[in-house]
Structure 1
Amino acid sequence: MRRRHLLPLLAAPLGTMIATAANASEPAITGHHPDEYPDVLDLRGTPTEARPPSDNPISVFADLGAWHAYALPAAPTEYGGFTGPLYIAEEYPWWLSKAFNRLTLADADNARPVELAADPAPRIHAHPGRLSQSFTVDGLRVELELRFASDRTAFVRARITNRGRETRRIRPSWGGSLLRHTADPVQSAPRLAGTASGVAVEFAEVRSTWSFFSTETMRFEVRHRDQVTTAVDGDAYTTSLSEPLRIGPGRTRELVWTESFTFTTADRERARKTSREVFDAPGRHTENSEKRWSTYLRRALHGVPADRRRPAVKAVQTLVTNWRGPAGRLKTGGITPSISYVWFAGGLWSWDSWKQAVAVARFDPELAASTVTTMFDHQRDDGMILDCVFYNDISDGGGNWNERNTKPPLAAWAVWEVYRHGHDRRWLSRMYPKLTAYHDWWYTARDHDGDGIAEYGATVDPGNATDEAVIEAAAWESGMDNAPRFDVDAGVTVLRNENADGELVGYSINQESVDLNSYLYAEKRLLARIARELGHGKDARRHENEAAPIAAHIREHMYDPAGGFFYDTDIVTKRPLTERGRGIEGAIPLWTGVADDGQAAAVRDALADPAQFATTVPFPTTSRDNPDFDPEAYWRGPVWLDQAYFAVAGLKRYGHHVEADALSARLLANADGMLTDQPIHENYNPLTGARLNAPNFSWSASAVLLLLRGE
């Protein structure tokens, strides 16, 4: 017989359980308590198919790096359950169920159901760190709260309070059914199994490179604290509490269960341990979650005006939901671009990670450090950092893992910002040689003419076997995949880079990019700062000495004085490629401090010009007067918020605060849904403000947080 935990509690709202457990008063309104920010993001929805569309319209909540997530019920028929879960089948998101583990209640004396849908005003909310439902019906108050206890386990606390004058006997049960895909092998992969403590979903092995990965050890499991029995009928199940709850007048009884999604037997054992810990002290886990989220908000909202705190909280919630813990080839936890986009849910990109770490450092320096470290876990022997890494590498059959290129060098910025907020000197010391190896790699593999000015390019890789493939990888390496400056018909060609022994070490394209070399200039300055912090004076002087000629070159060769803007240059003539039109990369010399005051003023004029970059949502990636401008074509016009942040911060660096503040305010006001409960998107139409591409996009959330903080 299992130990019983159904102890009577005094009736109290679920939101006050922390205070009850700690024998303390309710938290005061502070401006950073989770209770103050309900529904900053609309999380209501019910899936109809197992496979979500590429851009999932249902936003979800996850925490602590979990690989499964939940939403709130959209229909009364789903009350008592949390939508989903959405689980990541190693690399791809799938819905397990509409609401896999839905609580239902019945009067044990007359078998009459307690209809939660009969409550005319249910309270169903998402607060930072938790989802909750509350119903007052049939003389009862029923409250459910879902939080996460680890990167594999969520837990739910359900409290049933008798508001009447007579003792009630209530029989709880839980049920749900699988959402099956329409075609094999995925259709046959999941199967239900009853367990001694609840129910599990087991999986057959499927290795479908572009849609679904599972092994026979992958498992979703619900464990109940109290004795239950489970009956499985095909794709549906019912779990029942062994004995009804006896609830006296004004008294409360609590049910606790966990929901774990695991990949390996070791994962499963850790999840069992977590479940036992939750069952022994659910109040402590609730309190830890609440304290952590209060700390997140207190730190993140520093400097954010009161009327802009909700979108800032939305940004934090977006970043935390996209956090994935260690799994598969990912040795360290990191932040994916978006759990809501099929290709972005299960992998980590390098320059995404750098930008995300900078924002996350403001509220969780340890997570920010992990976000950086996870990319360096896969640093190659030659120093290069990969473009993106996933649960599966190429040898595992993974198709998304990419070593054909790297991404722009912002790693030193990320490391310095993480250190500045986290003060972990040992971590900084570990990262410094890795950073210098990566930085030096650019000059051995991407400086075709050896002049200290680098080019975007590609690696020696089977995927880069043709010139077309190399140019594609070089554009990916810039991060601006289809920007007009990388069009083949604009004159882009491929150059072979060889070492002193004549061995091919990589490829470059025939232009030296202004953003790349501005980033490398900033990296040298930051490496010098890190070296000085660590007591490496000789290194610091070397980095500073190498930075100066890069800045001089950019000012002299990459700036067009006739037009007052920065451009990429031809590798041979060093002539600015003005005929390819203006792009937002021309603002990067302001962000890095390369431009002189006159150049910065000229760029300011372009950024503030409605015919160029001061569009309805400012800072399109291609100037509005560029012949190749297209407001919905990825990097040929849409506004990307990281580039908007760089432009705003660059203007401020040169004292142009009026323009910076006005353009930033216009962006936040005109980007659709930014100040409401809609998701933060990958990019925005600069003319209409319409949301484009992936919802709940991490680096956009990072930029929003930095902009709202006035940084």
Structure 2
Amino acid sequence: MKQFISTLLFFLILQNAFSQTKFPILELSKNSLNYKGFPKNATDRKSLAFSDKGAWFGFGFLEPGSIQGGFSGPFLMTEQNGVWLSSSFVSLRLLNDNKQDEINWEKSLVNQNSYNSHLEQLFQNELLEVKQQLVFFSGNTAIQKTSITNRSSKKISLNPVFDSKTYLNTIQFSKENQTLKLISSKSNAVGYIQFFDKNTVIETTNEGYSAKLNLITVKPNETKEIIVSQSYIFPQYSWENEKIKISKSTFNSVLSTNQQAKEKELAQLIAKKKMVYNGDDYSVFLAKLILTLQNNTRIAAEGLKHEGVFPSYNYEWFHGFWAWDSWKHAAALAHFSPELAKNQMRALFDYQEPNGFIPDCIYRDTTIEPNNYRNTKAPLAAWAVWEIYKQNKDVSFIKEMYPKLKKYHDWWYKERDHDQDGLCEFGSTDGSVIAAKWESGMDNAVRFDNSKILKNGEKAYSLDQESVDLNSFLYAEKNYLAKMAQVLKLADEEKKWKSESNTLKIQIQTQFWDATTGWFYDTSIDGKTSVKDMGCEGFLPLWTEVATSEQANAIKNNLLNPITFNTFVPLPTLAANNPKFNPEDGYWRGPIWLDQVYFGINGLEKYGYKKEVDLLTGKLIQNTEGALEKGMSIRENYHPKTGKGLEAQNFSWSAAHFLLLILNN
């Protein structure tokens, strides 16, 4: 019944939308992120960049004081973990017969608008109106259209010239007919800038280029168009095929198709919102969340064999796929891009080792940074696969992933259970404590301050404590694997997973629970001593539904207590009354991480605490800096007492978990 109502609501939204204006739902995404800036050099990361279709490059708007006749960028993620090729590489000048600029871009700027589908900017003076639009044609190509309209009563002749200098000394420029070719010494990707005027004259230098197009004459009220495509393409893709596809397309058809797709995507998600988030402000918020994930999406390239999502393109060292992040991204992507969600999962399992191990993170170019095999990450893969299955009921995907998930699950008990008591520990493959902490995902959490490393075997080490979150995740995995076995009609395996789940449930409920404080804690290997720092790991048993109802009630009381977890932005990673609480720059020692907040709130929801769920979610969204404000990006984490955004901008798993919190699932 719920599915029928959501479907009906979706079609009503679309019907109402098309009766008013062409893309009114897409209008909600207008300027949801601020792409204005001026990249002063190649590594200036103050500006955000818009991208789509999984492209390894992006663009923005030049801010007042630096306006040119083009978009900022491109920001190339094809090399050096992201560099600006230029402030505006495809920048247009319109010269009159006296070789003077016919339009002053700075003085003539009317507006700059971004949508989830494209970028556009408008210029006007007494003679001309110039509209520029940029849309992604594919993961390899963006197309820019400049429409020039004569506002005067007389014919105007213009000499269009594109020219620019690059910030990079790694680029070699050459020309092939009407195409400018860019070869970099730092990347295997090749750039192609196509000018579709057959008489374009291209000149190159070591620093840049100029491209002079044919003289154009514009009559009063007439509009002339200039189309330029920008492609940055890795060797695994065919430039010849891409070029043919571009030649068979028109800018207007590409833009319209993209607008329709984004309109439908956003309308579908709006129809899935929980009723409490029914207002337009939450629809605008949804558009920002989707766009955050969109800007971080990359098509398969070199070492990344499947498409997936970066944690943040804006931060230099987040240009790869992390296991923990990937599972979380996939769970959210399942709601609107199930194929991308599947490929996000496949990307990490491409690197699964014969013993089941999954590396912590993988990269396109391992000469910049090697893949990290020192540790893995907490086991959330089965959850993500099941979330994907819930959305599309694709049994073939379950069949594909189930054997890999089993192997990964079993690996934990072979390599990370020091005393073979059925309770696992975080650890590392190289025997280092730091990598073992990384494996938890909570790199510097207070609970690990006194941890030591123990050897289990060859390339297998454990911390000297059994962690409640890890074992809760493994409990959940057993339940998800049981469901998958049922889908695949593997009755004996389903029975096995359920039996193991029941055994582990009792172990977690007894060993990690402290009735005095009403909280779950890590313990020593022998289970006799609790690591009594009240952190977010202690409410994970709610999300995995391993806690008893009495335990859940006690945890709920702690979560609602303003002294511990009910801060201005609720559910910090460490109780606010802990002496080591550091909300400003503590990383995992106090700041708000959206994944953990989601686990806490969704856990309360599973135990029926609806009023508390609405209270905490409302505080979270209202009090995190810029969440509901157009222009401000989603951050890596937040200050629990002020709401200030912290660390990386444009952070994917924050967007993913915000999205999961406001959607019906």
Task: Indicate the TM-score class for this superposition, using the shorter chain for normalisation.
Answer: over 0.9
CA distance, structure 1, for counterparts of residue 23 and residue 613 of structure 2: 27
**Counterparts in 2 of 1:196-211, with a 5 A limit?**
196-204=177-185
CA distance, structure 1, for counterparts of residue 437 and residue 360 of structure 2: 12
Q: 1:362 to 1:597 in 2, by over 3 A?
A: same
**Counterparts in 2 of 1:483-502, with a 5 A limit?**
483-487=445-449, 490=450, 492-498=451-457
CA distance, structure 2, for counterparts of residue 664 and residue 629 of structure 1: 22
Deviation string 1:324-357 (CA, Å, 9 cap, x unpaired) is: 111111111110100000000x210011000011
Deviation string 1:298-329 (CA, Å, 9 cap, x unpaired) is: 22322142221222211110101100111111
1:347 match? 320
| Aligned-partner SS, 2:647 | strand
CA distance, structure 2, for counterparts of residue 372 and residue 327 of structure 1: 16
Deviation string 1:220-274 (CA, Å, 9 cap, x unpaired) is: 2211222211122442322111x22233333322221111112337454444334
- The answer to whether the aligner puts 1:437 opposite 2:429 as a matched pair is no
CA distance, structure 2, for counterparts of residue 29 and residue 619 of structure 1: 42
Choose the corresponding residue for 1:296, options 253, 259, 265. Answer: 265
Verify the 8 A CA contact 1:84 1:99 in the aligned structure 2. Answer: yes
- Aligned-partner residue type, residue 157 of structure 1: K
CA distance, structure 2, for counterparts of residue 247 and residue 429 of structure 1: 61
Deviation string 1:180-224 (CA, Å, 9 cap, x unpaired) is: 4xxxxxxx32233344214233222xxxxxxxxx24x43222112
2:142 match? 154
1:582 match? 534
CA distance, structure 2, for counterparts of residue 264 and residue 526 of structure 1: 39
| Aligned-partner SS, 1:92 | coil
**Counterparts in 2 of 1:547-566, with a 5 A limit?**
547-566=501-520
**Counterparts in 2 of 1:264-343, with a 5 A limit?**
264=235, 266-278=237-249, 281-301=250-270, 302-303=272-273, 304-305=277-278, 306-343=280-317
| Aligned-partner SS, 2:62 | coil
Q: 1:77 to 1:456 in 2, by over 3 A?
A: closer
**Counterparts in 2 of 1:432-581, with a 5 A limit?**
432-459=402-429, 464=430, 467=431, 469=432, 471-487=433-449, 490=450, 492-498=451-457, 504=458, 506-578=460-532, 581=533
Q: 1:351 to 1:654 in 2, by over 3 A?
A: same
**Counterparts in 2 of 1:81-92, with a 5 A limit?**
81-90=70-79, 92=81
CA distance, structure 1, for counterparts of residue 403 and residue 613 of structure 2: 36
CA distance, structure 1, for counterparts of residue 399 and residue 24 of structure 2: 33
- The answer to whether the aligner puts 1:230 opposite 2:195 as a matched pair is no
2:171 match? 190
Choose the corresponding residue for 1:145, options 128, 133, 138. Answer: 133
- The answer to whether the aligner puts 1:363 opposite 2:336 as a matched pair is yes
CA distance, structure 1, for counterparts of residue 469 and residue 18 of structure 2: 51
| Aligned-partner SS, 1:681 | coil
Choose the corresponding residue for 2:94, options 96, 105, 112. Answer: 105
Verify the 8 A CA contact 1:515 1:586 in the aligned structure 2. Answer: yes
Verify the 8 A CA contact 1:446 1:454 in the aligned structure 2. Answer: yes
Verify the 8 A CA contact 1:521 1:550 in the aligned structure 2. Answer: yes
| Aligned-partner SS, 2:201 | strand
Choose the corresponding residue for 1:70, options 42, 59, 68. Answer: 59
| Aligned-partner SS, 1:172 | strand
2:617 match? 664
Verify the 8 A CA contact 1:195 1:230 in the aligned structure 2. Answer: no
- Aligned-partner residue type, residue 455 of structure 2: R
Identical residues among aligned pairs (%):
35
- The answer to whether the aligner puts 1:61 opposite 2:35 as a matched pair is no
2:152 match? 164
CA distance, structure 2, for counterparts of residue 270 and residue 646 of structure 1: 45
Range with bigger deviation, 595-604 or 70-79: 70-79
1:251 match? 222
- Aligned-partner residue type, residue 530 of structure 1: M
- Aligned-partner residue type, residue 303 of structure 2: R
After TM superposition, give the deviation of residue 164 of structure 1 in Å: 3.3
CA distance, structure 2, for counterparts of residue 155 and residue 141 of structure 1: 20
After TM superposition, give the deviation of residue 169 of structure 1 in Å: 2.6
CA distance, structure 2, for counterparts of residue 438 and residue 412 of structure 1: 10
- Aligned-partner residue type, residue 339 of structure 1: Y
2:33 match? 41
CA distance, structure 1, for counterparts of residue 235 and residue 603 of structure 2: 47
Verify the 8 A CA contact 2:28 2:283 in the aligned structure 1. Answer: no
- The answer to whether the aligner puts 1:392 opposite 2:365 as a matched pair is yes
- Cα root mean square deviation, aligned: 2.0
After TM superposition, give the deviation of residue 112 of structure 1 in Å: 5.1
CA distance, structure 2, for counterparts of residue 398 and residue 313 of structure 1: 33
| Aligned-partner SS, 1:86 | strand
Verify the 8 A CA contact 2:363 2:369 in the aligned structure 1. Answer: no
| Aligned-partner SS, 1:585 | helix
After TM superposition, give the deviation of residue 409 of structure 1 in Å: 0.5
Verify the 8 A CA contact 1:413 1:526 in the aligned structure 2. Answer: yes
Verify the 8 A CA contact 1:109 1:169 in the aligned structure 2. Answer: no
- Aligned-partner residue type, residue 284 of structure 1: S
CA distance, structure 2, for counterparts of residue 354 and residue 32 of structure 1: 32
CA distance, structure 2, for counterparts of residue 32 and residue 526 of structure 1: 39
1:239 match? 211
CA distance, structure 1, for counterparts of residue 505 and residue 575 of structure 2: 24
* Matched positions, count: 641
Q: 1:28 to 1:382 in 2, by over 3 A?
A: farther
Deviation string 1:499-547 (CA, Å, 9 cap, x unpaired) is: xxxxx25111111111111111111111111111122222111111111
Range with bigger deviation, 307-316 or 326-335: 307-316
Verify the 8 A CA contact 2:281 2:628 in the aligned structure 1. Answer: no
Verify the 8 A CA contact 1:29 1:36 in the aligned structure 2. Answer: no
- Aligned-partner residue type, residue 150 of structure 1: S
Range with bigger deviation, 565-574 or 352-361: 565-574
CA distance, structure 2, for counterparts of residue 476 and residue 703 of structure 1: 21
**Counterparts in 2 of 1:543-692, with a 5 A limit?**
543-578=497-532, 581-631=533-583, 632-676=585-629, 677-692=631-646
Verify the 8 A CA contact 2:123 2:129 in the aligned structure 1. Answer: yes
Verify the 8 A CA contact 1:40 1:313 in the aligned structure 2. Answer: yes
After TM superposition, give the deviation of residue 77 of structure 1 in Å: 4.0
Q: 1:122 to 1:635 in 2, by over 3 A?
A: same
Verify the 8 A CA contact 1:91 1:391 in the aligned structure 2. Answer: no
| Aligned-partner SS, 2:379 | coil
Verify the 8 A CA contact 1:362 1:421 in the aligned structure 2. Answer: yes
Q: 1:506 to 1:687 in 2, by over 3 A?
A: same
Q: 1:290 to 1:604 in 2, by over 3 A?
A: same
CA distance, structure 1, for counterparts of residue 191 and residue 218 of structure 2: 32
